[in-house]
Chains A and B, each alone.
Chain A
Amino acid sequence: MSREFWKAFARNRGAIIGLIILAGVVFLALFADLLYPTSPWDMVTRPFAPPLSAGTLMGSDTLGRDIASGIAHGARVSLLIGLTSTAAALLIGVTLGALAGFYGGRVDDAIMRFTELFQTIPNFVLAVMLVAIFTPSITSVTASIAIVSWPPLARLARGEFLSLRSREFVQAAITTGQSTPSIILREILPNSMSPIIVAASLTVATAILLESALSFLGLGDPNMMSWGYMIGASRTVMRQAWWMSFFPGVAILITVLAINLVGEGLNDALNPKLARKGKG
């Protein structure tokens, strides 16, 4: 399985590139404190220093903070929020989707109406509202991103459960008298994991974008350096100092791109039937 998986994954060249970039970002996040031991908020040099001057790699911002340090520490925030909020969204989404799909009928109706309630409100608007109500902090930002991200996962899980529920191996499990939790967790869930993993990887990318957008609007945790914040804080001086918003912008772009590429690779590897034909 594992070898086949890697083979399928590696066949998608984009996915490999994505994985390499992502590994770089993870490395940056893990070793940010070693690379840039001082806080990214510290004013370490003169303000408005262009890249490769005043002892900086990517220049400094309006207050003389090192942009490269902000990028490194921001990677941590982006990944942390991306992963935890996706994990939370998975927990909510898969639980509700599994219950709806497995039980069907009224339970299904109730849960799906509830899910649609969330889907009718635009993601970002709801996130902005939640963060504004609960005052911006890393917890409220993560929670609100999780709250707006779970409905698609719930729908996906429901679909998988609905189709797997009537399959022979599930019927067999039922007749052999396995308990319901055991059927859900041991029989159906492992078999529905592939599409959920692929969807989750894309949710991470969306979560990072959402976090950036929130910080851009000044709704990020005011004590955490984040890429979106860096762009938001320097957008006003874009005409005088392009580098302040350019580098964090590139960081967001390639990270999200990398995650999407990896997600596509996962899709190819995990759903071989769906994999596009004629690909090199």
Chain B
Amino acid sequence: MRSTDTKSARRAWYRRPQRGLMAAAAAALLALPVAGTLLPATAAQAADDTQAVQKGGTLDIILNPEPPILILGLNQQAPTQLVGGKIYEGLLRYDHDLNPLPGLAKGWEISEDGLTYTFHLRENATWHDGEPFTADDVVFTAKTFTPETNPRWRLIFSHVDTVEAPDDHTVVFNLKEPFPAFIIGLGVTNMPIMPAHIYEGTDYNDNEMNDTPIGTGPFKFVKWEKGSYVHLTAYDDYWQDGRPYLDDIYFRIIPDAASRALAMETGDADISQFGNIEPFDVPRLSKLPNLELTTKGYEMFAPMAWIEMNTRKPPLNDRRFRQAILYALDRGFIRDNIFFGLGRVATGPINSVTTQYTPDVQKYPHDPEKAKALLDDMGLEPGSDGVRANVEFLVMPYGEVWTRLAEYIKQAMGKVGVQVTLRSTDSAGWAQQLSNWDYQMTNDYVYQYGHPALGVARTYISDNIRKGVLFSNTMGYSNEKVDELFAKAAVENDDAKRAQMYAEVQKILAKDVPVAWLLEMEFPTLLNKRVHNAVTTAIGTSDNFADVWVEPKQ
């Protein structure tokens, strides 16, 4: 089966039109004389590349799983973002430290009181159907379209009072209260700007243009051969002169993990991201001479993996027990041997690559003796069989890595006298049992979206204890002080005060251990060395690729 998969994937390769290769060859000939004019001063991101930019060529990106739709405004799943991020654009982009960069907004001002955000838009941007891009599109997208289609934007937009367009190329957001996380929420992954002339007044999900996405991005949609590939081509009237460098992008849909690894190995595919390549294959592939590995470009998603504990059930309702779990685990071992080195040992609730992180909290090094002391302190003495307590662990059915992790946790906790019984289930059963609080312990990982107000608070605030909702406060953790600090910090306009509040809440949480943080997860992005400038921002390969260029295929 595997070999036929590979074969059909290969066959798809050969069907590709040859235009790209020809153009690449032509570009190679022209490269020397043209290079100078193609390197404008604005291409700061290209600074690390000492080689001259080569225009033209084709890029092959692995796409898995196949997205349900390419209209990014209607679907924010990772595969949709990967393709849609090249077709659509947001107001802002973000560097690896989550500082805003110009996108469709070439400049912006934030008022002193943090209540008014003014954005100056690109004057020469156009939609792929030729219509001009104006402030009306932004107002429509922010006020009408996205609140209906994206719950994350709904949360952000609940802080906004009015959105106005004083002229065709200016948009003003007036907030009800200061909400500093607002500036982090304007990227293409949260609010891609949608064409008002196509969607205004229609049923968005049933729009006849949903098969042919129209955006302002550097690449326009050509063809989607279901089950095989998505083809985008350079948009000639893109607002930035001389961009994009590439002629074409092909997104290769390869459902089989072994075939994906093979495609990267042979050079049939140039880029893989997120979970495309299984963790165990990463060390091997990253050593190949034609590939390089980066774990940057996921700062906006910043996944955090933890052990979730139902704090309603004894002994998990005791903070000392939860602390003992962290002491009992060797999280460095988990990273090195279960995640094959991908990730950083977490110190607390906020991923260190996002904003407002503080390392100044109670730490939990691997210390089984301390774990035993805490359990003794609770009165959980070992019985004749050495068992102090029994807990049940629901294995997260997301593949090999999580099964191994559950086995490790069982053994490590057994060493301090906590007997763990593993229970397996399928993914629907897991989601149901977790969201209905019918579990004792399990694993989970959650995206943080760049700012604690957007992706961290939701896990710990009591308002978000909602039965039946996944990724809410399913542990049932409730601490008034934490609620108050998260609520106040979200609307605090003073940087220092806000940082101090977030630092305090991190200290409290690190002491309370509502979940046992394991790793700030890293995803592997594998790149063929012929690809340049692919990962330059906080959303990595989901960004627009206007600056990406390639050397001809070997």
What string of 1s and 0s marks CB contacts (under 8 Å) between A38-54 and chain B?
Answer: 01011100010000000
| Residue numbers in B under 8 Å from A19 (CB-CB) | none
Complex Cα distance, B339 from A62, in Å, reads 11
A63 near B337: Cβ-Cβ < 8 Å = yes
Q: Determine whether the beta carbon of A135 is less than 8 Å from that of B337.
A: no
Q: How far is the CA of A63 from the CA of B284 in the complex (A)?
A: 18
* Cβ distance A95 to chain B, nearest Cβ, rounded Å: 33
Question: Quick check: A135 and B424 within 8 Å, CB to CB?
Answer: yes
For A62, the chain B residues whose CB sits under 8 A away are 337-338, 404
B425 within 8 A of A: yes
Whole-angstrom CA separation of A63 from B426 in the bound complex: 24
Query: A62, A132, A219: which has the most chain B beta carbons within 10 Å?
Result: A62
B408 contact set on A, CB distance < 8 A: 43, 63
B212 CB to nearest chain A CB (Å): 40
Contact A236-B400, Cβ < 8 Å, known A42-B411, A64-B337, A135-B424: yes
Closest to B395 in A: A222
A212 to chain B, nearest CB (A): 17
Known A-B contacts A236-B280, A236-B400; A63 and B425 likewise in contact (beta carbons under 8 Å): no
Q: How far is the CA of A222 from the CA of B404 in the complex (A)?
A: 11
| Chain A proximity of B341: nearest CB distance (Å) | 12
A47 contacts across to B, CB distance below 8 A: 337
User: Is B403's beta carbon under 8 Å from chain A?
Assistant: yes
CB-nearest residue of chain A to B336:
A47
Interface 1/0 per residue, A206-249 and B, CB below 8 Å = 00000000000011001100000000010011011000000000
CB proximity to A under 8 Å, residues B398-424:
400, 403-404, 406-408, 410-411, 414, 421-424
CB <8 Å contact, A222 and B423 = yes
Q: Does any Cβ of A come within 8 Å of B512's Cβ?
A: no
Q: How far is the CA of A135 from the CA of B397 in the complex (A)?
A: 13
A82 within 8 A of B: no
Interface mask (B424-464 → A, CB under 8 Å = 1, otherwise 0): 11100000000000000000000000000000000000000
Whether A237 pairs with B403 at a CB distance below 8 angstroms is no
Q: Are B425 and A135 in contact (CB under 8 A)?
A: yes
Q: Would you call B338 and A63 a contact (CB within 8 A)?
A: yes
Would you call the interface of chain A mostly helix, strand, loop, or mixed?
loop
CB–CB A41/B278 < 8 A: no
B428 to chain A, nearest CB (A): 12
- Interface positions, chain B 282-328, Cβ under 8 Å from A, are 283-284
Q: How far is the CA of A42 from the CA of B414 in the complex (A)?
A: 9
A74 adjacent to chain B (CB < 8 Å): no
The 5 nearest A-B residue pairs measured at CB: A222-B422, A236-B280, A47-B337, A222-B424, A136-B424
Interface of B is mostly: helix
CB of B337 within 8 A of CB of A233, answer no
Contacts of B337 in A (CB 8 A): 47, 62-64
Which B residues are within 8 Å of any A CB, using their own CB?
278, 280-281, 283-284, 337-338, 395, 400, 403-404, 406-408, 410-411, 414, 421-426
- Which residues of the partner chain B approach A233 to less than 8 Å between Cβ atoms? 400, 403-404
Q: Which residues of chain B are within 8 angstroms of A219 by Cβ–Cβ distance?
A: 424
Which residues of chain B have C-beta atoms less than 8 A from A223's C-beta? 421-422
Given the complex of chains A and B, what is the CA–CA distance between A47 and B339 in angstroms?
13
Q: Which residues of chain A have C-beta atoms less than 8 A from B423's C-beta?
A: 135, 222
Q: Known contacts A64-B337, A236-B280; is A43 also within 8 Å of B411 by CB?
A: yes
A contact residues around B395 at 8 Å (CB): 222
- A39 to B408 CA separation, bound complex (whole angstroms): 13
Residues of A within 8 A of B280 (CB): 236-237, 240
Q: How far is it, in angstroms, between the C-alpha of A275 and the C-alpha of B232 when the chains are bound? A: 71
Q: Which of A42, A63, A132 has the most CB of B within 10 A?
A: A63
Q: Which residue of A lies closest to B425 (CB)?
A: A135
When distances are taken between beta carbons in the complex, the residues of chain A under 8 Å from B424 are 135-136, 218-219, 222
In the complex, chain B residues whose CB is within 8 Å of the CB of A43: 408, 411
Whether A63 contacts B404 in the complex (CB less than 8 A), given A41-B410, A223-B421, comes out as yes
Kindly state the separation between the CA atoms of A41 and B410 in the bound complex, as whole angstroms: 9
Residue of A nearest to B337 (CB): A47
Q: Considering the chains assembled together, what is the distance between the CA atoms of A136 and B403 in angstroms?
A: 14
A41–B403 contact, CB under 8 A?
Answer: no
Taking CB atoms, residues of chain B closer than 8 Å to A64 are 337
Q: Report whether B425 and A41 are in contact in the complex, using a CB–CB cutoff of 8 Å.
A: no
Q: How distant is A141 from chain B, measured CB to nearest CB, in Å?
A: 12
Residues of A within 8 A of B403 (CB): 218, 233
7 A-B pairs with C-beta separation under 8 A: A41-B407, A62-B404, A63-B338, A218-B403, A219-B424, A223-B421, A236-B281
**Bound complex: CA of A237 vs CA of B340, how far in Å?**
11
Name the distance in Å between B415's Cβ and chain A's nearest Cβ: 8
Report the minimum CB–CB distance from B277 to chain A (whole Å): 12
Across the interface, name the chain B residue whose C-beta is closest to A223: B422
CB nearest neighbor in A for B278: A236
Identify the closest chain A residue to B280 (Cβ).
A236
B278, A63: Cβ atoms closer than 8 Å? no
- Whether A63 pairs with B407 at a CB distance below 8 angstroms is yes
**Docked CA distance A41–B422 (Å):** 13
- Residue-wise, chain A 16-59 has the 8 Å CB interface mask toward B (1 for contact) of 00000000000000000000000101110001000000000000
Give the shortest distance, in Å, between A31 (CB) and chain B (any CB). 21
- Distance between B323 CB and nearest chain A CB, rounded to angstroms: 22
Shortest Cβ gap from B73 to chain A (Å) = 37
Given contacts A47-B337, A62-B337, A222-B395, contact A132 B426 (CB under 8 A): yes
Q: Judging by beta carbons under 8 Å apart, are B284 and A240 in contact?
A: yes
Residues of A within 8 A of B278 (CB): 236
Q: Is the CB of B407 within 8 A of A239?
A: no
Query: Which residues of chain A come closer than 8 Å to B421, judged between CB atoms?
Result: 223
- Across-interface contacts of B284 in A (CB, < 8 A): 239-240
The answer for the CA separation of A236 and B257 in the assembled complex, in Å, is: 11
A43 to B337, CA, bound (A): 12
Tell me how far the C-beta of B368 lies from the nearest C-beta in chain A, rounded to whole angstroms: 13
Chain B, Cβ-Cβ closest to A222: B422
User: Bound complex: CA of A55 vs CA of B278, how far in Å?
Assistant: 30
CB distance from A45 to the nearest CB of B (A): 12
- Report the Cα distance A135→B423, complex, angstroms: 8
Known: A39-B411, A237-B280. 20 other contacts (CB 8 A): A41-B410, A42-B411, A43-B408, A62-B337, A62-B338, A63-B404, A63-B411, A64-B337, A132-B426, A218-B403, A222-B407, A222-B422, A222-B424, A233-B400, A233-B404, A236-B280, A236-B281, A236-B400, A240-B280, A240-B284
